[in-house]
């Protein structure tokens, strides 16, 4: 089978289209054919290409796009293996696209082709750098449930505080920009999560000349939404990274959140096992005797909370590099190793801060724990999710 992927540099410049529209897909086999056919019809008269970036869908998405591409060479497919994420897929698409205008839309039919055509016309005129479909100009049908609509508005508000840009709908997943403007943001993109428009606008100091088109969200054409609680956490983490100028990375924020959840697991396990377990006797240590049940209680709490942290980090913080099967086991061992060093480091630093620098015992403990958190993050990357 010929390689479905293509390299941008292999394509001769003379055929470079005006518009490259990226469609990121994950199991959109039910919709993708009609979505592409419909939008291609609406872009009549425009020199465009459609680049589908598929994250190795388990359904027939890739087969459908390959098939369409045979009949229409403007339709191209790039399959990513072992990677996940809407934002990073979009960046991949734009990086290999050839148009002077770069755009994005969903592969499930939710974005209205009439609005997309309007976006294309607006930006191809040449006096705008970024044009977005917005659900919040006047009253539109957002197609969202009450709860999601509320969530979307809250996210829009929080994002507005960080962005300071005149976007009425920064959560929009349907927009177009000039390649020139994209390149000013490209070096600083985070690529975490779903909200690539937020990432872009927060990653460049160059203010885009900006336009909007009012657009309602339509219903999905089959398949399932990939939005879950992780997408919300991702956005929060992305905003922290952008608000701190990248000093605190989005991934570190997620890692820290998992760490906090691990502390709760620790407390819960400790409380349970403390109330349930009674073992008499202990190990003699210097002048003391260390009770067996203390060793078991604390040991269990440490072990279970570390294991919890590993699993949650695997499906949240590092889900784009998620470990499965054998590598998951070696990753788990690597994580135990990193965290054990972190614990020793924390112990040493706490005592040093308290006894040598005379810092209050509580402040010493908290500072040491924070430091070991930074180490654990580094260690997790080095020993578990190798990158
Ligand atoms: N390649 C790739 N990798 N594509 C993905 C991934 C991924 O990990 N996750 C989701 N997608 C694709 C989906 O296949 C779909 O084409 C598009 O991204 C949007 O995903 P949905 O699951 O349909 O998201 P949604 O309907 O909840 O979100 C929509 O509304 C948001 C605003 O509320 C999208 O338009 C978002 O882009 C938009 O931000
Ligand atoms: Mn959707």
- CA–centroid distance, 110 to ligand 2, in Å, is 6
Is the model more confident about 285 or about 252? 252
Q: Among 174, 194, 322, which residue has the most ligand 1 atoms within 8 Å of its CB, making it the best to mutate? A: 194
The CA distance from 228 to 233, in Å, is 9
Mean per-residue pLDDT of the chain: 91
- Protein residue whose Cα sits closest to atom 39 of ligand 1: 173
- Alpha helix segments (H runs only) across 99-203: 113-124, 146-163, 179-185, 196-202
Closest by CA to 184, choosing from 206, 163, 213, 162, is 206
Q: What is the pLDDT of residue 238?
A: 95
Phi-psi domain of 339 (left: phi exceeds 0; alpha: psi -120 through 50; beta: other): alpha
Query: pLDDT digits over 176-191, tens only?
Result: 999 999 999 999 999 9
- Are the beta carbons of 224 and 126 closer than 8 angstroms? no
Query: Of the bound ligands, which one is closest to the alpha carbon of residue 227?
Result: 1
Mean of the pLDDT values across residues 287-307? 89
Give the position of tokens 């099967």: 325
Cβ neighbour number for residue 185 with a 10 Å cutoff = 20
Is the model more confident about 70 or about 140? 70
Q: What is the pLDDT of residue 277?
A: 82
Q: What is the pLDDT of residue 285?
A: 80
User: Would you state the structure tokens that stand for residue 197, as one six-digit string?
Assistant: 């428009």
Mean of the pLDDT values across residues 291-305? 90
Q: Is the CB of 86 under 6 A from ligand 1?
A: yes
Tell whether ipTM is more than 0.90. Answer: yes
Mean of the pLDDT values across residues 141-146? 71
- Taking only Cα atoms into account, the Rg of the chain, rounded to an integer number of angstroms, comes to 25
- CA–centroid distance, 225 to ligand 1, in Å, is 7
Is the model more confident about 7 or about 380? 380
DSSP category for residue 188: G
Query: pLDDT digits over 8-65, tens only?
Result: 455 545 679 999 999 999 999 999 999 999 999 999 999 999 999 999 999 999 999 9
Is the model more confident about 159 or about 268? 268
Q: Is the CB of 28 under 6 A from ligand 1?
A: yes
Q: Is the CB of 156 under 6 A from ligand 1?
A: no
- Pseudo-torsion of CA 130, 22, 141, 201, nearest 10°? -30
Mean of the pLDDT values across residues 332-340? 96
């Amino acid at each position: 089978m010929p390689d479905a992927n293509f390299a941008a540099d292999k394509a001769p410049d003379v055929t470079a289209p005006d518009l490259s529209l990226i469609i990121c897909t994950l199991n959109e086999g039910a919709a993708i054919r009609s979505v592409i056919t419909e939008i291609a019809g609406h872009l009549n008269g425009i020199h465009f290409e459609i680049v589908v970036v598929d994250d190795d869908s388990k359904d027939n998405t890739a087969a459908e796009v390959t098939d369409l591409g045979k009949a229409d060479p403007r339709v191209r497919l790039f399959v990513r293996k072992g990677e996940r994420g809407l934002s990073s897929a979009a960046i991949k698409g734009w990086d290999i696209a050839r148009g002077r205008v770069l755009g994005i839309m969903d592969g499930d039919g939710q974005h209205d082709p009439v609005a997309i055509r309007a976006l294309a016309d607006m930006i191809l005129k040449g006096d705008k750098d970024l044009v977005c479909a917005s659900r919040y100009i006047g009253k539109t049908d957002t197609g969202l449930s009450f709860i999601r609509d509320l969530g979307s508005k809250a996210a829009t508000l929080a994002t507005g505080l960080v962005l300071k840009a005149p976007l009425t709908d920064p959560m929009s997943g349907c927009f177009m920009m000039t390649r020139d403007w994209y390149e000013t943001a490209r070096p600083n993109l985070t690529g975490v999560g779903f909200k690539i428009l937020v990432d872009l606008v927060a990653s460049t100091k160059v203010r885009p000349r900006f336009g909007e088109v009012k657009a309602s969200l339509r219903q999905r054409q089959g398949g399932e939404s990939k939005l879950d609680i992780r997408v919300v956490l991702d956005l929060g983490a992305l905003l922290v990274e952008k608000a701190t100028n990248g000093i605190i990375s989005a991934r570190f924020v997620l890692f820290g959140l998992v760490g906090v959840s691990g502390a709760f697991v620790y407390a819960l396990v400790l409380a349970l096992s403390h109330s349930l377990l009674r073992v008499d006797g202990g190990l003699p240590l210097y002048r003391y005797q260390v009770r067996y049940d203390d060793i078991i209680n604390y040991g269990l709490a440490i072990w279970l909370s570390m294991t919890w942290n590993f699993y949650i980090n695997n499906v949240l913080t590092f889900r784009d590099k998620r470990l499965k099967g054998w590598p998951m086991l070696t990753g788990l061992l690597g994580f135990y190793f990193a965290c054990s060093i972190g614990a020793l480091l924390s112990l040493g630093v706490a005592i040093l801060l308290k006894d040598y620098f005379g810092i209050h015992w509580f402040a010493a403990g908290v500072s040491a724990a924070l430091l070991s958190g930074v180490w654990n993050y580094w260690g997790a990357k080095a020993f578990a999710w190798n990158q």
